[in-house]
């Protein structure tokens, strides 16, 4: 890990996304991977959206173009990798997640062309080889392309010929390959029967179908769609031309013939190498963001703030991106090594105890929010461990209180009362060390927040 999209944006520096792309290409090709499903070229316009909160490279088309261009430049600098940008026609305008429901981009034709349209045109003109179609509808544009189209007939881009064929391939002149987003997502599965949307995606203009439910069954669905004319001979030939063209660009037939498809194990040494870890440190230093310190709680030190009460807020348990205690342990270990005495709070209780005793025994309240989740709810916010838990920030006026988020950037919505707030973007060891260096004043905060961090709440700025 070098940087997320959000961290790249906060750095206001193309060095960070460039090196994120460079390391991605180096490490994935060492593993034998030749397609990179990044960068995410969505524009984060809605602060409630958490599916692309950290993956988007900006809140404007201009920022997304600048930082994703840098990422692609790094990706292509040393290695032969196909770049796939996503999620056409664009996520970030609403708060819902296409893993769970049809995504809808409600922008008008003009608004889309002046935002997402600019982003996609930029990457198409720069030669991007692959675009991932999202399970996202663009109803205003779809109705402009298909006059008389009714709401009930509005489909996600993966099943909408007017978006893939008419808009992307013809109007934007994209001559590369279109792949669907994952075919188990409800944005697609809720549209029609699977035996219909499997071939329907190819008929709509997608060239490759991502993931099986059951390989034999889905293959037969696709074959049936070809035999009954859902997928025309012309459409099948076009899809194959684009797929084979990409393979030819990567010289895969030649490499296979020469026995060079598999990598040498020695190439794995690049993964997590010292140079990459140094770049991780540098990216953390450039990206970590002091959103506010209105109470002037910083800097801290192990003399005046020796006794630390650490409140650890995590996210989803047992999921694909389930939390463990590794980030918590990194903060505890690093603070302890610097001379702090750390007590990890048990947030499962409502009991707060005597206020004056708390004030006499705690020098610093440190809230670490490592809220991570995927595909189990439409958006992720802070969830306190119990009703009126003792971890809610009742203590902000009792002792200096510092809030650090290691993932999502918009937690101020649920913690507006906190006076010192930092976005760290990740919880790896180098980032944790860099955060504490900055809390102690040993290193300046260099990141710049976007306006969405305030979540449209005036009190968040206090």
Q: How far apart (Å, rounded) are the C-alpha atoms in residues 427 and 50?
A: 17
> Which tokens sit at 99?
């893993």
Q: What is the mean pLDDT of residues 139-150?
A: 98
pLDDT at residue number 62:
98
Where along the chain do its domains lie? 5-267, 288-461
pLDDT at residue number 317:
76
Q: How confident is the model at residue 264 (pLDDT cuts 50, 70, 90)?
A: confident
Percent of the chain at pLDDT > 90 equals: 94
The 10s digit of each residue's pLDDT in 47-82 is 999 999 999 999 999 999 999 999 999 999 999 999
Burial 34-63 (b: 16+ CB within 10 A, else e): bebbbbbbbbbbbbbbbbbbbbbbbbbbeb
Cα angle 212, 43, 203; round to 5: 35
Q: Is residue 322 scored above 70 in pLDDT?
A: no
Q: How confident is the model at residue 376 (pLDDT cuts 50, 70, 90)?
A: confident
Q: How far apart (Å, rounded) are the C-alpha atoms in residues 444 and 89?
A: 38
DSSP 40: B
Q: How far apart (Å, rounded) are the C-alpha atoms in residues 138 and 289?
A: 34
Q: Is residue 321 scored above 90 in pLDDT?
A: no
Alpha-carbon torsion, ordered 430, 435, 440, 444, to 10 deg: 100
The 10s digit of each residue's pLDDT in 170-208 is 999 999 999 999 999 999 999 999 999 999 999 999 999
> Which tokens sit at 71?
């990422």
Q: How confident is the model at residue 22 (pLDDT cuts 50, 70, 90)?
A: very high
Q: According to DSSP H, which parts of 31-146 are helical?
A: 61-78, 109-113, 116-125, 139-145
The 10s digit of each residue's pLDDT in 450-461 is 999 999 999 999
Q: What is the mean pLDDT of residues 32-53?
A: 97
Q: How far apart (Å, rounded) are the C-alpha atoms in residues 439 and 422?
A: 9
pLDDT, greater one: 55 or 374: 55
The 10s digit of each residue's pLDDT in 438-452 is 999 999 999 999 999
Paired with 369 in beta bridges are 313, 405
Enter the pTM of the model.
0.95
3-state secondary structure at position 1:
coil
Q: What is the mean pLDDT of residues 306-316?
A: 95
Alpha-carbon torsion, ordered 338, 343, 347, 350, to 10 deg: -140
**Homologous superfamily of the 5-267 domain (CATH):** Glycoside hydrolase, family 3, N-terminal domain (3.20.20.300)
Contact at 8 Å (CB) between 309 and 343?
Answer: yes
**Homologous superfamily of the 288-461 domain (CATH):** Glycoside hydrolase family 3 C-terminal domain (3.40.50.1700)
**Of the candidates 414, 373, 319, the residue with the CA atom closest to the CA atom of residue 50:** 373
Active site residues: 181
| Average pLDDT along the chain | 96
Q: Is residue 323 scored above 80 in pLDDT?
A: no
């Amino acid at each position: 890990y070098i940087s997320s999209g959000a961290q790249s944006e906060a750095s206001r520096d193309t060095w960070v996304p460039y090196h994120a792309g460079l390391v991605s290409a180096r490490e994935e090709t060492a593993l034998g991977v030749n397609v990179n499903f990044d960068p995410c070229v969505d524009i984060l316009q809605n602060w409630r959206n958490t599916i692309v909160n950290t993956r988007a490279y900006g809140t404007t088309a201009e920022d997304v173009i600048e930082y994703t261009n840098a990422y692609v430049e790094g990706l292509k600098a040393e290695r032969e990798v196909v770049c796939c940008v996503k999620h056409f026609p664009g996520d970030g305008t609403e708060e819902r997640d296409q893993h769970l429901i049809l995504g809808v981009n409600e922008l008008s034709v003009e608004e889309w062309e002046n935002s997402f349209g600019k982003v996609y045109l930029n990457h198409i003109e720069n030669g991007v080889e692959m675009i991932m179609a999202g399970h996202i509808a663009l109803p205003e544009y779809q109705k402009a392309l298909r006059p008389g189209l009714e709401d009930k007939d509005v489909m996600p881009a993966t099943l909408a010929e007017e978006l893939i064929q008419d808009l992307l391939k013809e109007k934007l002149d994209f001559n590369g390959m279109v792949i669907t987003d994952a075919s188990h997502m409800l944005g697609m599965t809720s549209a029609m029967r699977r035996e219909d949307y499997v071939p329907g995606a190819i008929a709509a203009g997608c060239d490759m179908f991502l993931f099986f439910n059951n390989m034999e069954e889905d293959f037969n669905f696709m074959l049936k769609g070809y035999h009954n004319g859902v997928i025309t001979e012309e459409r099948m030939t076009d899809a194959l031309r684009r797929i084979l063209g990409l393979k030819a660009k990567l010289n895969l037939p030649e490499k296979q013939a020469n026995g060079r498809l598999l990598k040498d194990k020695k190439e794995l040494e690049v993964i997590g190498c010292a140079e990459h870890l140094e770049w991780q440190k540098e990216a953390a230093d450039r990206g970590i963001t002091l959103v506010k310190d209105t109470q002037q709680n910083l800097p801290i030190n192990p003399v005046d703030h020796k006794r630390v009460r650490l409140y650890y807020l995590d996210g989803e348990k047992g999921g694909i991106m389930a939390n463990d205690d590794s980030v918590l342990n990194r903060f505890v270990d690093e603070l302890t090594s610097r001379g702090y005495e750390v007590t990890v709070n048990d947030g499962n209780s409502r009991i707060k105890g005597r206020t004056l005793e708390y004030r006499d025994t705690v020098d610093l309240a440190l809230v670490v929010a490592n809220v991570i989740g995927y595909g189990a709810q439409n958006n992720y916010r802070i969830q306190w461990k119990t009703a009126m838990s003792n971890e809610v920030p009742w203590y902000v006026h009792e002792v200096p209180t510092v809030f650090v988020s290691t993932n999502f950037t918009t937690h101020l919505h649920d913690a507006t009362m906190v006076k010192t707030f930092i976005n760290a973007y990740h919880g790896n060891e180098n980032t944790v060390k860099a955060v504490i260096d900055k809390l102690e004043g040993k290193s300046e905060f260099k990141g710049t927040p976007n306006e969405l961090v305030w979540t449209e709440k005036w009190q968040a700025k206090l």
